[in-house]
Chains A and B, each alone.
Chain A
Amino acid sequence: MPPSICAVCRTNRALILRPKDHSKLCRECFITVFETEIHHTILSTNLFERGERIAIGASGGKDSTVLASVLKTLNERYDYGLELMLLSIDEGIKGYRDDSLETVKRNAVQYDMPLTILGYSELYGWTMDQVVEQVGKKGNCTYCGVFRRQALDRGAARLGVKHVVTGHNADDVAETVLMNLLRGDLPRLSRTTSIVTSTPSLAPNKTGVADNTHIKRSKPLKYAYEKEIVLYAHHKQLDYFSTECIYSPEAFRGSARALIKNLERVRPSAILDVVRSGEDMARLVPGSDEGCGGACASATAAEEEVGGCGSAVGKSMASVERQLASNERAQESNLETEITLPKPSPAPSTTPAGPPLKGQKKPRSERSGGPKKKGPAKQVMGSCIKCGYLSSQAVCKACVLLEGLNKSRPKNAIEVGYEVQDVSLNSVRDELEATTLSTER
């Protein structure tokens, strides 16, 4: 069989089977196609403004390294006029973060970008290693997730930057969509797919007075496949660090992740299809902000949670099950069976179910006026009375967790559950080798 020819340039020999659509491309064309797609994402969502200062949330891993490299390339090629810098958070995990930070330091030199490193110990007085010593390995992701979200914002505020980009990819977004469906988290479902989520947070300004600044978060790699990111990093010979967090097992996400990987095998476009569905469903969530199709995304609330680790996500499937089951039983003992949809308008609701027939009575729940199942509650944002960070509660989650830690007893229950499935990055890499066209093709 003659060697395959690149489907784009039709001159070079194809070396890459593109994960997204299985087209055969040469190295150069793959890199161009990958970069152009991200350029397209940036243009079509008006992600950046000329002269904007952008902090890249850099962990030293493949996603953020590729993000930094691509943004630098595109910024120069298409003259976005951006000022790029790297922002790293040091969670204080020995054998993981200290090594990956070395990578980030090299990247800063390679890409000629200023680097700021902000540590948990500096911000909160606790490193993750110390937290784990205190609370154990289970449930520590809650702390890490809550702390990191704030840390990135605080870091951005310190740099005087109003826009942080993160390396979340299409697989992460798709995974989160499925996960939010599985655990029934509609408010998050309505948020996870939007490319921009703004985190209005408090940052001390020059006068030392707390000042509400909106820090924009975005994920330019939202439509990029994880496999293609790894391929890109490989073919551009990027310097990245590939070890997963040593504390990371997350059974619930693992189950969604395994499903996504299987789907990708059956139909490569499935990941994008899930992202698309997620975008569409966001508009269907009652009372969501996405009615405008994401155009007014600035209204989306804080506490986004895509990819990586995060608070409520660090649960095992078994603990989610227990919680849901007890909700169900509580509901049944209330004799509450109808699920009433909260109407966004105060107008009297019309029952959506069933043919409109004369003399039809309302469902039991409406007649009895019994306790109704609440729909997704709209968050009302205030600020934490302790640290001033944006919070829906009087005291923000980080301060609550910190208080527990400082009292030497964890406030959050530590979940004991057993893991179901977990797919590690290693399997992704194995597959990658399979997707790189070998000579016998």
Chain B
Amino acid sequence: MPGKTTDGALSEVCRRCKENSSVLVVRLEPLCQDCFARYVHTKAIKRLETFRVNFHTNEERKVLLPLTFGVSSTTLMHILDLHLKTQMSKTGRTGFALSVLAIGNAEGTLPVDGFLDKVRRQYPGDAALRDLVPHAADVRNFSDQEQLASLINSLPSASARADVLSTLRTRLIVEHARSAGCQSILWGDSTTALAEKTLAETCKGRGFSLPWQVADGKTPFGVYFHYPLRDVLKKELVSYIDLADSGLASLVHESTPGATQASTSSKNTTIDDLMKQYFESVEENFPSIVSNVVRTSSKLEVPAGADSDPRCGTAGLGKESVKAFAAHAPEHIYLTGRNSTAAASLMAEVRSERSTAALSFIELDLSSLRSPVGFDCTDKLAPLAKDKDLANRLWDWTDKILARYDGADG
């Protein structure tokens, strides 16, 4: 069992309550079962200050918890449930309303329905846990599974495939949170997971996005992200699940008990796998280094005024890329982006240098799934795509996702 068990020192007394005998050593402290549970709860709830009962308003904050049936998100659900019950018993009201969103995996190997039933039985008709949405936004669950598969398979590397899937998943969860009126998403990420994410994003060249990928707070999606388990290590969560008596373990579906046995071939290894392996080994002997990575990356902040100042010329396809393409005198360059004024000046600049290429600007916010709607993409873009069919399928697929949300809205 991870989280060092007290083998030789089993008789040692819990350092906190000084009564019971300890069951495991947490960061050099031998703790008993109760004190360990309290330790985990405190760490999580401390991070939920924002969601205390607010007596000044009747307006209830809605938060979304994406549940993947892994160790972390299951623990978080359990803790949030306890927290809500405590709030209810102490004050007669709760600080927030919780929606749980069940997430499957892209391969469709996770028996979401079965697990969902178990969760429902475990937390029956709980006043607080009122809104258990069954797998509404899972990429897996679209009937067009094959479309997705062919899209994903067209990507060249394992890292790219994993990356696109996780990006799609985040976007869908955010989209669901928006349509369900949730202001915040509570992610289950442990310290270890956040450290992995920090380094993985750094290695993918996305260091700039760390402020909203790791720190609590507002994201460019307009929804707030919170990571209540940011101070708890993965191995501690595993111990928590093992020690919990309320049948919590049966709710956990761990498809990969550890990344360490991940493929040895570099073809199938993803950057995320590498980071997982790395931090699993670091966590074992150097837990403070893991938490230090998270503490450090959380200190990064977007400089004030950076928002009003678009980072690229068109806030879209890179200015330099357009110029580089233009140098090869193609027939037509379509550039996309959010800033049409900047695009106009870029096009003027390119035309002044090389006049042969025709240029068109397509206003597109790629960070929004809704953006392409209303723009007749298929007509304009399909002739450009090498694989006309792929382009069509992509747009069909996007349409369908959005249709689901529009249905949910009404």
Q: Determine if B54 and A266 form an interchain contact, defined as CB atoms under 8 angstroms apart.
A: no
- Chain B residues within an 8 Å CB radius of A283: 208, 303
- A45 close to chain B: CB less than 8 A: no
- The stretch among A25-33, A106-114, A134-142, A313-321 that forms the contact with chain B is A313-321
Q: Determine if B299 and A324 form an interchain contact, defined as CB atoms under 8 angstroms apart.
A: no
Q: Determine if B271 and A277 form an interchain contact, defined as CB atoms under 8 angstroms apart.
A: no
- A181 close to chain B: CB less than 8 A: yes
Q: Determine if A284 and B300 form an interchain contact, defined as CB atoms under 8 angstroms apart.
A: yes
In angstroms, Cα B158 to Cα A355, docked, is: 37
Q: Determine if B159 and A267 form an interchain contact, defined as CB atoms under 8 angstroms apart.
A: yes
Q: Chain A's nearest CB lies how many Å from the CB of B83?
A: 16
Q: Determine if A277 and B301 form an interchain contact, defined as CB atoms under 8 angstroms apart.
A: no
Q: Determine if A281 and B54 form an interchain contact, defined as CB atoms under 8 angstroms apart.
A: no
Q: Determine if A341 and B299 form an interchain contact, defined as CB atoms under 8 angstroms apart.
A: yes
Question: Which A residue sits closest to B274, measured CB to CB?
Answer: A262
Q: Determine if B271 and A266 form an interchain contact, defined as CB atoms under 8 angstroms apart.
A: yes
As a 0/1 sequence over residues 201 to 234 of chain B, the CB contacts with chain A under 8 angstroms (1 = contact) are 1111111101100011110000010100000000
Q: Determine if B288 and A325 form an interchain contact, defined as CB atoms under 8 angstroms apart.
A: yes
- A280 close to chain B: CB less than 8 A: yes
Partner of A324, one of B158, B226, B288: B288
Per the 8 Å Cβ criterion, residues 90-134 of B in contact with A are none
- The stretch among A75-83, A123-131, A268-276 that forms the contact with chain B is A268-276
Q: Determine if B206 and A277 form an interchain contact, defined as CB atoms under 8 angstroms apart.
A: yes
As a 0/1 sequence over residues 26 to 68 of chain B, the CB contacts with chain A under 8 angstroms (1 = contact) are 0110000000000000000010011100101100010000000
- Chain A residues within an 8 Å CB radius of B202: 177-178, 181, 273-274, 277-278, 281
- Chain A residues within an 8 Å CB radius of B211: 284
Partner of A182, one of B203, B218, B292: B292
Q: Interface residues of B, CB < 8 Å — how many?
A: 58
- B153 close to chain A: CB less than 8 A: no
Q: Interface residues of A, CB < 8 Å — how many?
A: 56
Q: Chain B's nearest CB lies how many Å from the CB of A340?
A: 10
Q: Determine if B266 and A359 form an interchain contact, defined as CB atoms under 8 angstroms apart.
A: no
- Chain A residues within an 8 Å CB radius of B157: 266-267
Partner of B271, one of A255, A263, A286, A345: A263
Q: Determine if A277 and B201 form an interchain contact, defined as CB atoms under 8 angstroms apart.
A: yes
Partner of A291, one of B198, B201, B303: B303
- Chain A residues within an 8 Å CB radius of B184: 354-355
- B199 close to chain A: CB less than 8 A: yes
Q: Chain B's nearest CB lies how many Å from the CB of A347?
A: 10
Seen from chain A, the residues whose Cβ lies within 8 Å of a Cβ on chain B are: 177-178, 181-186, 189, 255, 259, 262-263, 265-267, 269-270, 272-274, 276-281, 283-286, 291, 317-318, 320-321, 324-325, 327-328, 337, 339, 341, 345, 352-355, 357-360, 363-364, 375-376
In angstroms, Cα B57 to Cα A358, docked, is: 8
Do A276 and B205 form a contact, CB below 8 Å, given A318-B285, A355-B224?
A: yes
Do A318 and B224 form a contact, CB below 8 Å, given A259-B274, A341-B299, A359-B57?
A: no
In angstroms, Cα B296 to Cα A339, docked, is: 10
Partner of B293, one of A177, A182, A281, A355: A182
Do A281 and B207 form a contact, CB below 8 Å, given A353-B216, A355-B183?
A: yes
Q: Determine if A354 and B301 form an interchain contact, defined as CB atoms under 8 angstroms apart.
A: no
Seen from chain B, the residues whose Cβ lies within 8 Å of a Cβ on chain A are: 27-28, 46, 49-51, 54, 56-57, 61, 157-159, 183-184, 198-199, 201-208, 210-211, 215-218, 224, 226, 266, 269-271, 274, 278, 282, 285-289, 291-293, 295-304
Q: Chain A's nearest CB lies how many Å from the CB of B187?
A: 14
Please, could you name 18 A-B residue pairs with CB atoms under 8 Å apart, sorted by A? A181-B297, A186-B300, A266-B157, A266-B271, A267-B157, A276-B205, A277-B202, A277-B207, A280-B207, A281-B207, A284-B208, A284-B210, A284-B211, A324-B288, A324-B291, A325-B27, A337-B46, A352-B217
- Chain B residues within an 8 Å CB radius of A274: 202-203, 205
In angstroms, Cα B305 to Cα A345, docked, is: 13
In angstroms, Cα B304 to Cα A259, docked, is: 33
Q: Determine if A267 and B301 form an interchain contact, defined as CB atoms under 8 angstroms apart.
A: no
Interface centre among A177, A325, A376, by most B CB within 10 Å?
A325
Partner of A353, one of B217, B288, B297: B217
Q: Determine if B205 and A266 form an interchain contact, defined as CB atoms under 8 angstroms apart.
A: no
- Chain A residues within an 8 Å CB radius of B49: 354, 363-364
Q: Determine if B205 and A273 form an interchain contact, defined as CB atoms under 8 angstroms apart.
A: yes
Q: Determine if B292 and A183 form an interchain contact, defined as CB atoms under 8 angstroms apart.
A: yes
Given A277-B207, A284-B302, A328-B288, 14 new contacts (CB under 8 A): A177-B202, A181-B202, A182-B293, A255-B282, A262-B266, A272-B205, A284-B208, A284-B301, A325-B28, A325-B287, A328-B27, A357-B57, A359-B54, A360-B54
Do A357 and B295 form a contact, CB below 8 Å, given A266-B271, A284-B208, A317-B289?
A: no
- Chain B residues within an 8 Å CB radius of A267: 157, 159, 203, 271
**Top 10 closest A-B pairs, CB basis?**
A277-B207, A354-B50, A273-B205, A324-B288, A280-B208, A359-B56, A184-B296, A284-B300, A321-B286, A281-B207
